[in-house]
Amino acid sequence: MESIISVKDLSKIYIMGTTEVRALQSVSLSIQKNEYVALMGPSGSGKSTLLNLMGALDQPSSGSIILNGRDLTTLTSKDLDSIRNSRFGFVFQSHYLLPQCTVIENVLIPTLADGRRASTPEDEKRAVDLLERVGLQDRIQSFPGMLSGGERQRVAVVRALINQPALLLADEPTGSLDQHTAGQLAELLAGLNRDLKVTQVVVTHSQELAACMGLVYELREGRLAGSDPKAH
Ligand SMILES: Nc1ncnc2c1ncn2[C@@H]1O[C@H](COP(=O)(O)OP(=O)(O)OP(=O)(O)O)[C@@H](O)[C@H]1O
Ligand SMILES: [Mg+2]
């Protein structure tokens, strides 16, 4: 199996005044290509901390994060910006769409980073194809304010995929949706893994969402408490 990203002995300590918060303690794991992994655990157990470290949104206190044979902890912030934009897609509990931009404009924003001033026709075709894939073909020119919460989250997923990232990282992507809409988004993510081979790590409190995933990692007080491999 081909490893997309490995973290080794990863620790994160937040210093708050005179107290230290040990958010993550010596976590090691590897994400393989095409895997669909759930990250679960109680509130405060370090899920977001681990996801943010894997996506180079934050720096660990110690340990290494290996992507394509390179340790991200040794890179400059400029290199990290570029890697973050080209290799990772992020989805959060809030969609973070720009209200003044249309759906397609929002989706194309990540294609404009790294000094590029215009999206290519290939980017645009890919955006339209992905929006069709998630059932939003009639909403391409809509503004986010005209969409439902579930539709906005689907736009956020498409935006996360527009640069063909090696890894989609999602932090409670269904957290602000009702149960029915959350179920639809869970199905969509499962379909992206199954059909488009999108490798994903998804933080979730939802047993329902975790049930469709190949592997469940459980964090407890900043440590990996176990993994529950399931047959796909
Ligand atoms: N920026 C920060 N500064 C200080 N402490 C932090 C910071 N971010 C997180 N923490 C602490 O680190 C620990 C892990 O937090 P984290 O956000 O990773 O938990 P989580 O598992 O994602 O929880 P939740 O399910 O509530 O989102 C918690 O004790 C939290 O208070
Ligand atoms: Mg969190």
Instruction: Return the ligand 1 atom nearest residue 219 CA.
Output: 21
- Closest Cα to atom 12, ligand 1: which residue? 23
Q: Which domains does the chain have, with CATH numbers?
A: 3-229 (3.40.50.300)
Residue 46 Cβ contacting ligand 1 at under 6 Å: yes
Q: Walk along the chain (232 residues) and give the pLDDT tens digit of each residue.
A: 789 999 999 999 999 999 999 999 999 999 999 999 999 999 999 999 999 999 999 999 999 999 988 999 999 999 999 999 999 999 999 999 999 999 999 999 999 987 777 889 999 999 999 999 999 999 999 999 999 999 999 999 999 999 999 999 999 999 999 999 999 999 999 999 999 999 999 999 988 888 888 899 999 999 999 777 654 4
The CA-based dihedral angle spanning residues 148, 151, 153, 154, taken in that order and rounded to the nearest 10 degrees: 180
Q: How far is the CA of 50 from the centre of ligand 2 (A)?
A: 9
Q: How far is the CA of 206 from the centre of ligand 2 (A)?
A: 13
Rounded-to-integer distance, Cα 166 and Cα 229, Å: 21
Q: What's the pTM value of the predicted model, to 2 decimals? A: 0.94
Query: From the CA of 219, which ligand is nearest?
Result: 1
